Amino acid sequence: MTKKVSRKYQATRVEPGKEKIPVSSLVSERYPKVASIVIHLTYHQKASDPVLMIRTVNFFPSSPAIFNLVCMIKDCVDGGLNFKSIIAKMIKKHKKSGSGKIVCSREKDSHAPDHGTIFYEINIAYGRKSN
Ligand SMILES: [Zn+2]
């Protein structure tokens, strides 16, 4: 006896730039207890030098849970600052703040420009009580 498989997969056409972010990749789905995540970045040429640039990036429950920020260093192509594991660890431990240095994914590349030092500070607000 053969089972009749007549299921057809209809490819849904998505216009460029109009793709929907899958719900599973939103902050609210991945981390339901999180109300907001704020990443502060401070770029220094050298650790002792004045600040070159300050950035603040906010994530909300409706934001995609992609914590890979564009590097922003001049001439750095496709560089990224990946906070994924840092943020995952903080949320796991229910930490509200953390700081340190972040290294661009391209910095190991010998052709990458001088990145100086990038410090980060992360603040996480938790909106729902943990059980
Ligand atoms: Zn970079």
Q: How far is the CA of 77 from the centre of ligand 1 (A)?
A: 7
pLDDT tens string 10-40: 444 545 555 565 666 899 999 999 999 999 9
Question: For residues 109, 110, 113 and 117, what is the CA-based torsion angle, rounded to 10 degrees?
Answer: 70
Tokens of 11: 């490819």
Q: Above 90 in pLDDT, residue 98?
A: yes
Q: How far is the CA of 12 from the centre of ligand 1 (A)?
A: 36
Q: How far is the CA of 30 from the centre of ligand 1 (A)?
A: 27
Tokens of 37: 């995540």
pLDDT range class, residue 131, cuts 50, 70, 90: very low
Q: For residue 74, which of 38, 45, 100 has the smallest C-alpha distance? A: 45
Which residue shows structure tokens 């040429």? 45
Q: How far is the CA of 46 from the centre of ligand 1 (A)?
A: 15
pTM above 0.85, yes or no: no
Distances from the Cα of 33 to the Cα of 36, 45, 50, 122, angstroms: 9, 37, 37, 16
What's the rounded Cα separation, in Å, for the pair 33 and 130? 7
What would the 3-class secondary structure string for 39-71 be? EEEEEECCCCCCEEEEEEEEECCCCECCCEEEC
CB atoms within 10 A of CB 9: 5
Tokens of 1: 């006896």
